[in-house]
């Protein structure tokens, strides 16, 4: 599937939604939805916002890029939107004519939007569901991203030394990712006791003594994956190794239980039972356990009452944690079982069997 074919598949989904909701058009303004519909295009300049600097308008028979005079030339040329069939609607940078241009195309009809805009119908949840089933091209991009991220985080941790700060380790990891135009959209780094104290340990200048947990959400052409790895200097305590193994077993059980057509809550309910059976009752309440992902780090944070079903070729990442340990690798739920996105590359591998599947998982690196 080439890029144009992928865009056409997605336009069919969008136009079906337009027909279902009896709309005259759909306006997409967020960075994730731009990347999704354009099969990997980027409309971001600033990173501290969900909104893109250009918008897409889809009608039953039209496809438009709405951009000011600053963004229009690059978007049409470097993002290849002309070749993908987009018609450019442009305005001067010192004006705000986006909605006027929309109305010139669709008239007084109802228009949906992926963000709240006065006069438009906010249907972000409906749009999100269009993204869930990955195309062939998206699967290929995800596997590329997963290999690069797995390699980058493990190579970075292989080079960590006691005395390095949490922040500088993150900096080295980001530098590795940027070699492939992969950007970090979230990161955590926890040295020693911080790994036990906080579930979201944003990086500080705390220096590593014996133990480091490193996590990152990394984005490539809009798709986001998550990963966590651990390194210990010197032989870890047997209790820590036992806990880490239990953490892996919980995650593998969750992956194995993520079956197409089944409720997303089933893997979580399985995990809750295992937490209790293994002696960690209540730990699951200290942090969300993950869920569906794609153009966001988590499209759905699954809870015990989530009603959504696992979709075909939908990406997931579970992240069970016990105070001091966390395991986290991403995968795609397929009719034949899980296809791993991330996994061990240079780290020691651990084999875990769960519900008829054999998983090759990263162990804890000991230096």
pLDDT score of 267:
98
pLDDT score of 48:
87
Distance CA 16, CA 162 (A): 56
DSSP letters for 210-227: SEEEEEEEEEETTEEEEE
Residue 227: beta bridge partners?
Answer: 216
Question: Are 93 and 164 contained in the same domain?
Answer: no
pLDDT score of 88:
98
Domain of 55, CATH number, reads 3.40.350.10
Question: Are 156 and 109 contained in the same domain?
Answer: no
pLDDT score of 1:
87
pTM of the model: 0.96
Question: Are 195 and 146 contained in the same domain?
Answer: yes
Question: Are 306 and 290 contained in the same domain?
Answer: yes
Domain hosting 63: range is 3-131
- State the total domains in the chain: 2
Question: Are 207 and 330 contained in the same domain?
Answer: yes
User: Consecutive sets of 10 residues in the chain, 367 residues long: mean pLDDT of each?
Assistant: 96 98 98 98 92 98 97 96 97 96 97 97 98 98 98 98 98 98 97 98 98 98 98 98 98 98 98 98 97 98 98 98 98 98 97 96 98
pLDDT score of 223:
98
Question: Are 87 and 224 contained in the same domain?
Answer: no
Question: Are 296 and 197 contained in the same domain?
Answer: yes
Question: Are 119 and 245 contained in the same domain?
Answer: no
CA distances to 25, 33, 167, 294 from 129, rounded to whole Å, are 17, 11, 36, 11
Q: Which of 131, 164, 184 is the last residue of a domain?
A: 131
Residue with tokens 């016990």: 322
Question: Are 355 and 215 contained in the same domain?
Answer: yes
Question: Are 112 and 142 contained in the same domain?
Answer: no
pLDDT score of 129:
98
Question: Are 58 and 82 contained in the same domain?
Answer: yes
Question: Are 101 and 178 contained in the same domain?
Answer: no
Which tokens in the block code for residue 278? 């293994």
pLDDT score of 46:
87
- In contact, 27 and 116? CB cutoff 8 Å: no
């Amino acid at each position: 599937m080439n890029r144009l074919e992928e865009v056409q598949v997605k336009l069919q989904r969008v136009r079906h939604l337009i027909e279902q909701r009896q709309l005259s058009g759909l306006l997409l303004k967020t960075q994730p939805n731009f990347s999704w519909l354009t099969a990997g295009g980027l409309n971001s300049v600033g990173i501290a916002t969900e909104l893109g600097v250009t918008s897409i308008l889809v009608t039953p028979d039209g496809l438009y890029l709405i951009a000011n005079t600053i963004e229009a030339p690059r978007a049409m040329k470097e993002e290849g939107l002309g070749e993908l069939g987009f018609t450019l609607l442009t305005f001067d940078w010192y004006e705000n004519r986006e909605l006027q241009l929309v109305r010139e195309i669709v008239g007084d009809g109802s228009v949906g939007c992926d963000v709240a805009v006065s006069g438009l119908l906010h249907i972000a949840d409906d749009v999100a569901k269009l993204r869930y089933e990955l195309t062939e091209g998206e699967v290929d991009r995800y596997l590329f991203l997963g290999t690069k991220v797995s390699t980058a985080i493990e190579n970075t941790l292989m080079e960590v030394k006691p005395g390095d700060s949490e922040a500088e380790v993150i900096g080295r990891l980001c530098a590795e990712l940027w070699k492939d135009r992969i950007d970090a959209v979230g990161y955590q780094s926890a040295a020693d006791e911080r790994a036990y104290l906080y579930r979201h340990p944003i990086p500080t200048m705390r220096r590593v003594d014996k133990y480091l947990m490193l996590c990152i959400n990394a984005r490539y052409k809009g798709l986001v994956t998550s990963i966590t790895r651990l390194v210990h200097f010197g032989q870890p305590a047997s209790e820590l190794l036992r806990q880490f193994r239990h953490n892996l077993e919980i995650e593998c059980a969750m992956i194995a239980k993520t079956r197409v057509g089944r409720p997303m809550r089933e893997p979580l309910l399985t995990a809750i039972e295992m937490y209790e059976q293994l002696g960690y009752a209540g730990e699951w309440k200290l942090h969300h356990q993950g869920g569906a992902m794609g153009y966001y780090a988590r499209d759905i944070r699954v809870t015990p009452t989530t009603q959504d079903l696992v979709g075909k070729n939908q990406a997931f990442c579970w992240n069970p944690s016990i105070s001091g340990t966390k395991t986290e690798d991403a995968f795609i739920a397929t009719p034949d079982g899980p296809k791993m996105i991330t996994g061990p590359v240079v780290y020691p591998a651990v084999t875990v069997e769960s519900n008829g599947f054999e998983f090759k998982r990263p162990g804890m690196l000991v230096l």
